[in-house]
Chains A and B, each alone.
Chain A
Amino acid sequence: GDSVTQMEGPVTLSEEAFLTINCTYTATGYPSLFWYVQYPGEGLQLLLKATKADDKGSNKGFEATYRKETTSFHLEKGSVQVSDSAVYFCAPYLGNLIFGKGTKLSVKP
């Protein structure tokens, strides 16, 4: 069945470090792909999306590229900040959003 596998956390980085959070999915067809971010005590915010193969979504310095061949949508940021500390969810749209388990990121000053 349709599913999403997300890199398990927690991930702890120092400020200005490079971030990668892996996400792969299994599905028939080519779903739109989303990354959502949840800051402590809050709901989810849309971070970025990509709707077709080779599209790159980007926002707030984060990027993710829709890789059809590897069914992946890895999230990257070149230089993280303390304010990026949050839980990140990968979610392909397969009729409904299917959420990964989330990856908690902690950025230390």
Chain B
Amino acid sequence: GAVVSQHPSRVICKSGTSVKIECRSLDFQATTMFWYRQFPKQSLMLMATSNEGSKATYEQGVEKDKFLINHASLTLSTLTVTSAHPEDSSFYICSALQGEATDTQYFGPGTRLTVL
């Protein structure tokens, strides 16, 4: 149990276009999901916390107008990178909390974004 999927696994786009990444909890409902960004050979940086039915909470320094997060259902959160630029190229990973009274996050397999 506790499987989280992401789609797509890899995406290449042109500079200036927008890209949507989906994060789904496959066998449980996730009130809270998280979006992380990972640079090569570095740790994960929390970008935002996504709560179902409400606005996401962004970490300091993360542009909320550039990284749009929607958590429309208990099993799906989306991250849209708007007007992507080469510096947005990165590995984006989502995670989900299984239940509310828990601190254990289950992670998706990640999405490799390359902006040309």
Let me know if B6 and A43 touch, CB within 8 A: yes
- Contact mask A1-15 → B, CB, 8 Å, 1/0? 000000000000000
| Chain B interface main SS type | strand
Size category, A interface:
10 to 19
Indicate whether B67 reaches chain A with its CB closer than 8 angstroms.
Answer: no
Let me know if B107 and A44 touch, CB within 8 A: yes
Indicate whether B105 reaches chain A with its CB closer than 8 angstroms.
Answer: yes
Contact partner of B107 among A45, A93, A100, A102, CB < 8 A?
Answer: A45
- Contact mask A31-60 → B, CB, 8 Å, 1/0? 010101000001111100100000000000
Q: Which residues of chain A are near B34, meaning CB under 8 Å? A: 96
Bound Cα distance A89, B44 (Å): 9
Bound Cα distance A46, B93 (Å): 14
Determine the residue in chain A with the shortest Cβ distance to B103: A93
Given contacts A43-B109, A102-B43, list 14 more A-B pairs with CB under 8 A. Answer: A32-B103, A42-B109, A42-B110, A43-B93, A45-B107, A46-B105, A89-B43, A96-B46, A96-B49, A97-B46, A99-B43, A101-B43, A102-B42, A104-B41
Q: Which residues of chain B are near A32, meaning CB under 8 Å? A: 103-104
Let me know if B103 and A100 touch, CB within 8 A: no
Let me know if A101 and B103 touch, CB within 8 A: no
Q: Which residues of chain A are near B42, meaning CB under 8 Å? A: 101-102
Q: Offer 25 A-B interface pairs, CB within 8 angstroms, sorted by A.
A: A32-B103, A32-B104, A34-B104, A36-B107, A43-B108, A43-B109, A43-B110, A44-B44, A44-B93, A44-B107, A45-B107, A46-B105, A46-B107, A49-B104, A89-B43, A89-B44, A93-B103, A96-B34, A96-B49, A97-B46, A99-B43, A99-B44, A102-B41, A102-B42, A104-B41
